[in-house]
């Protein structure tokens, strides 16, 4: 890196920002309020109610199903209780406040499986029906895997033998899933043949959300590499990451590691050398490379593309980012521009003094995919940490574990 004296102005930075995407007919994305797939708006008779941050695994399941089926739909985003108060208008519609929900012709359905059953009745199944014997068996296996993960992650072990027993139980159930994945040459559980090759079917969609969260949480809290321990699951994840439908919903390890504790009632760390390394790399923004997202494009052109996306997203919300920073409003503007200048120019840009904690506060609160794609977030987090380290070692306020009120979306409305 070469030294530079001044941070770029917002006008100078804007030159490098990505152009707006087609949120309605383009690639799957977390920002859209309407998805049409080049069909008529009158075809969008389904409304999906999901959480603002794209943290809810059950919302992701329904979201993916609609995208894979290319069903036109509308999106309304709701506050999860762990990061703020539910909107009153939503509680009038869904008194329990449950997410996700869909609305079709003024009829509201909750519970993700019930939602998918209704969507199957109207639009046909995603390949095999959820009620077919093969899919029913896979659904039971998914619940078994979920249970073994929860037992390991969310219940404290009093001694090492107890911890190892939980780990072995999880591995045994994950091995069952691997055997199911190995039954099809495509690597999918219930593949669907298309003109562009085979794509995931209904059973695959059932597994996606929690395997994504298992991959992140077990790395962070246990030092367990799901991809390395289970090659067939790794291939399945690689195949998913080739799909635009999935990438638009995918969270990253940092987001999941810190959004799960209040949702799950707590996550327990089993400290070992690998766990310490993994959690540190995740926390400072380095990430875990191909353990997090396989077969990355690492060429400069790809990096510039993802940097430009991160830049565009920050510019869009810069006033609120500055306003909610723990650093005083008039001061955080320059450190934020310094970090973005560092990311774009690859030059060292010195931030205002006493800005390190505010830069790290922002680093720790980037939410994927709500704010930007995984790779964009990785590059932006690294630039924030790089810039903070110039100022000093001060860290931002700790990420809460009992709630995520620090992520209340009302701050950005």
Q: Which of 54, 66, 140, 136 is nearest to 99 (CA)?
A: 54
pLDDT at residue 4 in the model: 61
pLDDT at residue 328 in the model: 76
Q: Are 59 and 50 in contact (CB under 8 A)?
A: yes
CB neighbours of 242 closer than 8 A, spacing ≥ 6?
Answer: none
Burial of 26 (0-12, 13-18, 19+ CB in 10 A): middle
Does 328 lie in the same domain as 189? no
Which parts of the chain register pLDDT below 50?
A: none
Does 317 lie in the same domain as 192? no
Q: Which of 389, 378, 393, 307 is nearest to 350 (CA)?
A: 389
Does 326 lie in the same domain as 227? no
Instruction: Kindly report the pTM of this predicted structure.
Output: 0.96
pLDDT at residue 96 in the model: 96
Burial of 11 (0-12, 13-18, 19+ CB in 10 A): exposed
In a domain, 40, yes or no: no
CB neighbours of 165 closer than 8 A, spacing ≥ 6?
Answer: none
Does 137 lie in the same domain as 86? no
Does 168 lie in the same domain as 61? no
In a domain, 195, yes or no: yes
In a domain, 29, yes or no: no
Q: How many other CB atoms are found less than 10 A from the CB of residue 193? A: 11
Does 233 lie in the same domain as 144? yes
Residue 339 belongs to domain spanning: 2-17+297-412
Q: Is 296 left (phi over 0), alpha (psi -120 to 50) or beta?
A: beta
Alpha carbon distance, N-terminus to C-terminus of the chain: 37
Query: 110: which strand partners?
Result: 101
Tens-place pLDDT, residues 200-209:
999 999 999 9
Does 283 lie in the same domain as 144? yes
The Cα–Cα gap between 351 and 363 comes to 15
Does 164 lie in the same domain as 58? no
Does 391 lie in the same domain as 408? yes
Does 279 lie in the same domain as 242? yes
Domain count within the chain: 3
pLDDT at residue 275 in the model: 98
Burial of 179 (0-12, 13-18, 19+ CB in 10 A): exposed
In a domain, 176, yes or no: yes
| The last residue of a domain, from among 291, 326, 341 | 291
| The last residue of a domain, from among 123, 143, 164 | 123
The Cα–Cα gap between 369 and 352 comes to 29
Q: Which of 286, 276, 267 is nearest to 389 (CA)?
A: 286
In a domain, 32, yes or no: no
In a domain, 243, yes or no: yes
Does 113 lie in the same domain as 235? no
In a domain, 27, yes or no: no
pLDDT at residue 411 in the model: 81
Tens-place pLDDT, residues 38-66:
999 999 999 999 999 999 999 999 999 99
The Cα–Cα gap between 188 and 409 comes to 36
pLDDT at residue 143 in the model: 98
pLDDT at residue 299 in the model: 78
CATH number for the domain that contains residue 114:
3.40.30.10
CATH number for the domain that contains residue 194:
1.20.1050.10
CB neighbours of 21 closer than 8 A, spacing ≥ 6?
Answer: 27, 29
| The last residue of a domain, from among 95, 123, 151 | 123
Does 338 lie in the same domain as 228? no
Structure tokens at 151: 């037992």
The Cα–Cα gap between 110 and 22 comes to 29
User: Helical H runs in 29-111?
Assistant: 57-69, 88-93
In a domain, 95, yes or no: yes
């Amino acid at each position: 890196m070469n030294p530079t004296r001044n941070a770029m102005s917002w006008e100078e930075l804007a030159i490098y920002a990505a152009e707006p995407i087609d949120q309605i007919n383009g690639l799957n994305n977390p920002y859209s309020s309407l998805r049409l797939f080049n069909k008529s708006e009158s075809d969008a008779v389904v409304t999906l109610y999901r959480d603002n941050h794209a943290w809810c695994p059950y919302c992701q399941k329904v979201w993916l199903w609609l995208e894979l089926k290319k069903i036109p739909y509308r999106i309304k985003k709701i506050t999860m209780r762990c990061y703020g108060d539910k909107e009153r208008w939503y509680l009038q519609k869904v008194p329990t406040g449950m997410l996700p929900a869909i609305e079709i012709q003024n009829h509201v359905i909750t519970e993700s499986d019930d939602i998918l059953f209704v969507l199957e009745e109207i639009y046909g199944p995603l390949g095999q029906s959820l009620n077919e014997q093969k899919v029913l068996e896979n659904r039971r296996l998914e619940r078994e895997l979920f249970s073994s993960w929860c037992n390991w992650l969310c219940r404290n072990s009093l001694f090492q033998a107890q911890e190892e027993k939980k780990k072995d139980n999880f591995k045994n159930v994950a091995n069952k899933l691997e055997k199911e994945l190995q039954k099809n040459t495509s690597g999918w559980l219930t593949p669907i043949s298309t003109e562009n090759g085979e794509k995931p079917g209904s059973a695959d969609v059932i597994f996606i959300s929690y395997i994504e969260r298992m991959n992140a949480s077990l790395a962070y809290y246990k030092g367990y590499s799901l991809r390395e321990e289970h090659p067939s699951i790794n291939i399945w994840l690689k195949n998913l990451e080739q799909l635009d439908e999935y990438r638009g919903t995918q969270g990253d390890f940092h987001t999941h590691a810190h959004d799960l504790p209040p949702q799950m009632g707590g996550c327990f760390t089993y400290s070992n050398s690998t766990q310490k390394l993994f959690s540190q790399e995740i926390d400072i923004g380095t990430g875990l490379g191909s353990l997090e997202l396989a077969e990355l494009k690492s060429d400069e052109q790809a990096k510039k593309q993802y940097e430009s996306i991160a830049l565009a997203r920050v510019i869009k919300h810069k006033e609120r980012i500055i306003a909610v920073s723990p650093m005083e409003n008039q001061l955080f503007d320059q450190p934020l521009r310094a970090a973005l200048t560092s990311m774009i120019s690859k030059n060292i840009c010195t931030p205002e003094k006493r800005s390190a904690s505010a830069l790290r506060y922002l680093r720790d609160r980037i939410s994927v995919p709500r704010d930007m794609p995984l790779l964009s977030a990785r590059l932006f987090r690294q630039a924030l940490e790089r810039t903070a380290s110039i100022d000093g070692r001060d860290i931002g306020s700790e990420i809460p574990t009992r709630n995520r009120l620090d992520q209340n979306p009302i701050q950005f409305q």
